[in-house]
Amino acid sequence: MASGTIHIVGAGLAGLSAAITCLDSGRAIVVHELARHAGGRCRSYFEPALGLKIDNGNHLLLSANDNALSFLRTIGSESRLAGPDEAEFAFVDLASDERWVFHPNEGLIPWWIFAKDRRVPGTGPLDYLAMTRLLFPGKDERMDKIIECSGAVYERLSRPIFLAALNTEPREASAVLAGAILRKTLARGGRACHPLIASEGLGFAFIDPALAYLERRGAKICFMHQLRGVYVAAGNAALLDFGDDKIELDPSDSVVLAVPAAVARILLGDIDTPSTFRAIVNAHFKMEPPRSFPRLLGIVNGTAEWLFAYPDRISATISAADRFVETPREELAQAIWKDVAKVTGTNGEMPPWHIVKERRATFAALPEENAKRPGAETQFANLFLAGDWTATGLPATIEGAILSGKTAANAMLAKQRRGLNGSGARGQSL
Ligand SMILES: Cc1cc2nc3c(=O)[nH]c(=O)nc-3n(C[C@H](O)[C@H](O)[C@H](O)COP(=O)(O)OP(=O)(O)OC[C@H]3O[C@@H](n4cnc5c(N)ncnc54)[C@H](O)[C@@H]3O)c2cc1C
């Protein structure tokens, strides 16, 4: 085994991805996680109020998510994502009761804009041209400085899609991040836009197989092991303080901090990180969806924006949901249920329900917050950063988190190959 231990702090997707990237280095790998479980903001758990295993939030992936799919291939669980063989997104407008399926064609030439049954009702082919202005936005600005944030294409397509991907009201969101999404997805044709859902749960698709794979390959995972301080000396991380347990770092050891932005700032002091966040609210209703109900349904002019249909429940997502964080849960459940009952054609009482409010679900994808994202390398030679909030060029998503872990691990391994790791001398606390 090559010398030097790699300590990865945080067993969310960024940390798990960093650990998996390091497996072939031949070095010992230890993952330290504060909680009793892995997955961070992407996890499944048993919810007694429903008597069901649910996810902390509905997560949508697209076939464009190359890093996420390659992660799943590596751990052997790519087949645990399900979705249609084409780019199909069913929508309903609750104000007009119209229903449609947005259905871009597979190839690069977007002839779907000329097909009435594939594009958004109430729009013509030329209405879509404005979106191309987002492809190369130049300097980062609010989206409403680049495109008109009104009209049918915006209200019925761009807004729901960018709101879900950026978790920020699109008109104020970063045009650079919106452009990155567009270049990775629609600009590559429908084949990059197939929706993918972990229909048996995020834990089953992402977390359990990643942990099993890491353990099979000899990595050690320590749960309930909270990093409380990092001591530095001579420009290197020299000691990791886990309370009762303190780990002195050898000159050949390295650290990847894959914790949330706020934790990294506490641990490292003077790094710049995003500091404004947005909430996501999910409502879960225990019911069998009607037989022909789509797996994913976009709602325009409703309380929630997306419904996800699972065999035992319908779950609704509200992004950028800060306005609902203080709303009593029963009131929120009733408002969302009204829409769910309408689109499913259900009469009668609200079934057993559960509301999950993730107050700091992601950083706010505003231009000024995007500008604060640090790269993987830090001022400390042997310490690297990962997390969906680092400078991945993508919004805070599964794809971004997995890419960040890979980037941090590769930067660390490259530095070590060049013999630039730290000296390991000990010093004062940060
Ligand atoms: C409700 C919701 C819905 C979402 N929907 C989507 C979606 O549809 N599509 C999509 O792609 N993305 C979605 N996301 C975003 C996605 O979940 C995140 O981008 C991703 O999970 C972030 O992973 P991460 O590893 O960067 O961070 P985290 O998951 O936050 O992982 C950080 C880990 O560090 C641990 N930790 C913290 N402090 C310490 C410490 N001191 N010592 C040790 N460990 C510590 C934490 O316990 C955690 O396990 C959603 C997020 C939420 C919350």
Report the C-alpha gap between 62 and 370 in whole angstroms: 22
Ligand 1 pocket test, candidate residues 278, 397, 402, 406, most atoms within 8 A of CB: 397
State whether residue 264 is helix, strand or coil: helix
Binned at pLDDT 50, 70 and 90, residue 138 comes out as confident
Residue range 260-284: mean pLDDT, rounded: 96
For ligand 1, whether the C-beta of 43 sits within 6 Å is no
Contact 174, 370 (CB under 8 A): yes
Instruction: Kindly report the backbone phi and psi dihedral angles of residue 60, in degrees, each rounded to the nearest multiple of 5, phi listed first.
Output: -105, 130
Ligand 1 pocket test, candidate residues 32, 42, 167, most atoms within 8 A of CB: 42
For ligand 1, whether the C-beta of 249 sits within 6 Å is no
Taking only the tens place, the pLDDT of each residue in 50-85 is 999 999 999 999 999 999 999 999 999 999 999 999
Taking only the tens place, the pLDDT of each residue in 188-207 is 999 999 999 999 999 999 99
- Whether residue 423 is predicted with pLDDT greater than 80 in this model: the reply is no
Question: Distance, CA 199 to ligand 1 centroid (Å)?
Answer: 19
Report the C-alpha gap between 29 and 220 in whole angstroms: 6
Residue range 274-291: mean pLDDT, rounded: 97
How confident is the model at residue 264, as a pLDDT?
Answer: 97
State the pTM of this model: 0.96
How confident is the model at residue 429, as a pLDDT?
Answer: 39
Report the C-alpha gap between 252 and 413 in whole angstroms: 11
How confident is the model at residue 243, as a pLDDT?
Answer: 95
Report the C-alpha gap between 315 and 336 in whole angstroms: 10
| Segment (H or E) for 242 | strand 236-242
Question: Distance, CA 41 to ligand 1 centroid (Å)?
Answer: 3
How confident is the model at residue 414, as a pLDDT?
Answer: 94
For ligand 1, whether the C-beta of 274 sits within 6 Å is no
How confident is the model at residue 421, as a pLDDT?
Answer: 59
Report the C-alpha gap between 302 and 40 in whole angstroms: 29
For ligand 1, whether the C-beta of 226 sits within 6 Å is yes
Taking only the tens place, the pLDDT of each residue in 16-34 is 999 999 999 999 999 999 9
How far, CA to CA in Å, does 34 sit from each of 58, 103, 117, 223? Answer: 23, 43, 50, 6
Q: Which atom of ligand 1 is nearest to the CA of 38?
A: 49
Residue range 92-108: mean pLDDT, rounded: 97
Contact 396, 389 (CB under 8 A): yes
Give 324-339 as a DSSP string: GTTS-HHHHHHHHHHH
Question: Distance, CA 13 to ligand 1 centroid (Å)?
Answer: 7
How confident is the model at residue 309, as a pLDDT?
Answer: 96
For ligand 1, whether the C-beta of 305 sits within 6 Å is no
Taking only the tens place, the pLDDT of each residue in 319-377 is 999 999 999 999 999 999 999 999 999 988 999 999 999 999 999 999 999 999 999 99
Taking only the tens place, the pLDDT of each residue in 203-216 is 999 999 999 999 99
Scanning the structure block, which residue is given the tokens 């067993």? 11
How large a percentage of the chain has pLDDT more than 90? Answer: 93
Binned at pLDDT 50, 70 and 90, residue 137 comes out as confident
C-alpha neighbours within 13 Å on the C-beta side of residue 320: 19
Binned at pLDDT 50, 70 and 90, residue 270 comes out as confident
For ligand 1, whether the C-beta of 41 sits within 6 Å is yes
- Residue 278 bridge partners (DSSP): 362
For ligand 1, whether the C-beta of 6 sits within 6 Å is no
